[in-house]
Structure 1
Amino acid sequence: MRKIYVAAHVYMILGLISGLYYRELTKAKDFTGDSQLGVVHTHILALGMLFFLIVLALEKLFTLTSGKLFNGFFWVYNAGLALTVAMLLTRGTMTVLGHQPGPALDGISGLGHITITLGLIFFFVNLGKCLPTADKAGKAESKVDDVRG
């Protein structure tokens, strides 16, 4: 549970730093156009911090870390998000500095997105296996009814 919290906390810090980087770099270069830097802040906060806060709540309810795919999800998703964010930063910085990003960056960005998708597949399969089955849920409800009398 602690590593989920740490991941959310690190992404919060990185999200705030990326917003500061965007503001200061564009101000220093008098850049007023569009670049990928404008979305790095929100990508990190939404796909990093908020997502892992939701995972933390689901962990509390369903003990996701006990599932076999949890570690796979955790590391694959984080690797995909790191690659995606690195490419957003690279492309955005190149644009602000007046350089044209090449098509190779598009391919690497695509790999980041594919890796995030694979991590999400691991997450949902793991979540599905950690949810109580209908039989278990029904038995739990009947036990509660028996206790209530």
Structure 2
Amino acid sequence: MRKILNTAHIYMIIGLVSGLYYRELTKAEDFDGTTQLAVVHTHVLALGMLFFLVVLALEKQFTLTDHRLFGWFFWIYNAGLAVTVAMMTLHGTLTVLGHDGGAAVAGIAGLGHVLLTVGLVLLFVTLGKCLPAASRKA
């Protein structure tokens, strides 16, 4: 349970720092257009911090970490979120600096989204296997 809480805490810090980075970079570059940096803050807080707080509550209720798929979910989801957020930050930074992100950035971001999807599927499979047998019949 501590690992899940620490993960949520780390995402809270990253989310807050990313908001500060967005504000300071756009101010320093006198940028007033649209950039993906504007949504990195909310993505990290929602898909990172809040998501893992929900997983923490599910762990308390269903002991998800006892299932062998939980570790796979945890690392694949985190890898997907890290790749996605890194590419959003890179693309947004390049936009603010007046450069094009290119197809490679979009492709790698797509890979991050695929990893997030696989992670979510693994979470739901794990949750389904951890539910008490009586509640599966309903």
User: By the TM > 0.5 criterion, same fold?
Assistant: yes
In the alignment, residue 16 of structure 1 is paired with which amino acid?
A: L
Runs of 4+ aligned residues of structure 1 deviating over 2 Å after TM superposition are none
Work out the CA distance in 2 between the residues paired with 1:29 and 1:136: 55
| 2:68 paired residue number | 68
2:32 corresponds in structure 1 to: 32
> Distance between the aligned counterparts of 1:136 and 1:112, measured in 2?
32
Which has the larger Rg? 1
Report deviation, 1:134.
Answer: 1.5
Secondary structure of 1:30's match? coil
Equivalent residue runs for 1:105-116 within 5 Å: 105-116=105-116
In the TM superposition, residue 135 of structure 1 has moved relative to its aligned partner by 7.2
Query: Does residue 23 in structure 1 map to residue 23 in structure 2?
Result: yes
Partners of 2:135 and 2:62 lie apart in 1 by 16
How far the C-alpha of 1:68 sits from its partner, in A, is: 1.2
Q: Tell me which amino acid in the other structure corresponds to 2:117.
A: T
Q: Which amino acid aligns with 1:87?
A: M
| Aligned counterparts of 2:104 and 2:130: Cα–Cα separation in 1 | 39
Letter in 1 for 2:131: L
Output aligned runs, 1:1-149, within 5 Å.
1-134=1-134
Measure, in 2, the Cα distance between the counterparts of 1:135 and 1:64: 16
- What is the CA deviation profile of residues 81-125 of structure 1, one whole-angstrom value per residue up to 9, with x for unaligned ones? 000000000000000000011111111000000000000011000
RMSD, matched Cα: 1.3
The unaligned stretches of length 5 or more in structure 1 are 138-149
Q: What is the Cα deviation at residue 28 of structure 1? A: 0.4
Q: Distance in 2 between matches of 1:135 and 1:38?
A: 42
TM-score, structure 1 as length reference: 0.90
Q: CA deviation at 1:133?
A: 1.2
Report the identity percentage.
Answer: 68
Q: Partner of 1:144 in structure 2?
A: none
Scaled by the length of structure 2, what TM-score is found?
0.97
